[in-house]
Amino acid sequence: MSGFSVDQEALEKVGASLRRQAEYCHEAVTYLGRHNSYQHSEGIINVLNKASEDLHYQVEDWLKTAAMYCFEEAANRIDGALRTYRHSDEEAAADMDAAIELIGSGGELVLTPATIPSDFRDRYDATDALRQPRDYRDHPDYAYSPAKLDHISFASGARAVVHHGTSIAASLGAMDGPWDIYELFAKPMCGDWAQIKTNAEVMEHLAGFVRQLAENLQALRVGTAQVWTGNAASLFDEYLYRLETTLARSAETFTKASEVYNLAAEAMANKRQEMTFLFEQIFDLGLSLVFAAKAAAATAMTPLVLATGGALLAIVRRLITTLRNAVTLKNRAELEAIEDAEDLTDLGLVDTSGNALPKLPTPDEAGSAMTHLPG
């Protein structure tokens, strides 16, 4: 590389752009902590909890590394280069640049109207991708809604009455939302499908976030090439290129995580519907058993004893069958949760240390081109 030149005022804007990307990453850490939960995957099916927790902390550490080391430290290196240039005349700066050894080469830059930035403004405010996830507990496709036929069954009737009463309390501000009493049983058995569904949305939004960071860096590379040339500029571009491509690859991991969460949530939601139906049968059969037992006792030593006894035996058999079905469903749901946890743990593993996300290049790591910048 030859032909050193630098527009110091414009180079300041390069550092400012890097710091904005760091701020975006700090916002993403806050977003992750606010919306991506793992504590609610509780109950019998808690195996998904550990895998989700591990991924949560990996993503959090990865975003903090991007903010504090990839972007903020790179901006500090730009500040150091600027200080050196300001204390040197043009000839001395050019000699210093010529003495720098080139390491690697960045990707090809394509100058098009769409990629040339205006005054080093970001192509995207990446935080726009961090949208508020939906609350799937109130989603019409999943949330419980009482029906008129519910009152035919005592269990479903009680469920509807509790839901209606708590809905009124919620509308008055006395509660966060209506209660579905079946959730008290279904959630520990089948997992918190609604939170897992939210986690899927959070991961998809993070995928969009890092894609926009990568495109911001591509635009920054194009702009920097127009105001800073020479060996130092080439080293800086090499670093940004590595960071840009790593961010683009990491988006694939976030998308895979979203897919795993979505599949797990859909399976949990289906198991929840099956389980609530079985709970209703168990509850109603239990009441029928009590009534039949009382009827059998009342008809002792009468011609009706055989009829009531037969009815009692039939109810007991149905109850046992239903309980077995519930246990089978619980076991099937637990096995599926184990498979989902394995998928979440294995997705996109990029090294033998078990990291799900690509290792980010930092300016101060051994062999980094950024360590050769002036300053």
Q: pLDDT tens, 34-53?
A: 998 765 445 445 567 778 88
Lowest mean pLDDT among 15-24, 112-121, 150-159, 250-259: 112-121
pLDDT score recorded for residue 210 = 97
Q: pLDDT tens, 129-171?
A: 999 998 887 666 666 666 655 556 677 777 777 777 887 887 7
Locus of tokens 């009827």: 295
User: What pTM value is reported for the model?
Assistant: 0.80
Q: pLDDT tens, 42-84?
A: 544 556 777 888 888 999 999 999 999 999 999 999 999 999 9
Q: 76-103 burial string, b = 16+ CB within 10 Å, else e?
A: bbbeebbebbeeeeeeebbebbeebeeb
Q: pLDDT tens, 269-315?
A: 887 778 777 777 777 777 776 776 676 666 654 544 445 555 556 66
More confident residue, 120 or 229: 229
The Cα 166–Cα 182 span in angstroms is 14
Helix residue ranges, H only, the chain: 8-35, 47-65, 72-86, 90-98, 154-171, 183-190, 193-225, 231-298, 305-346
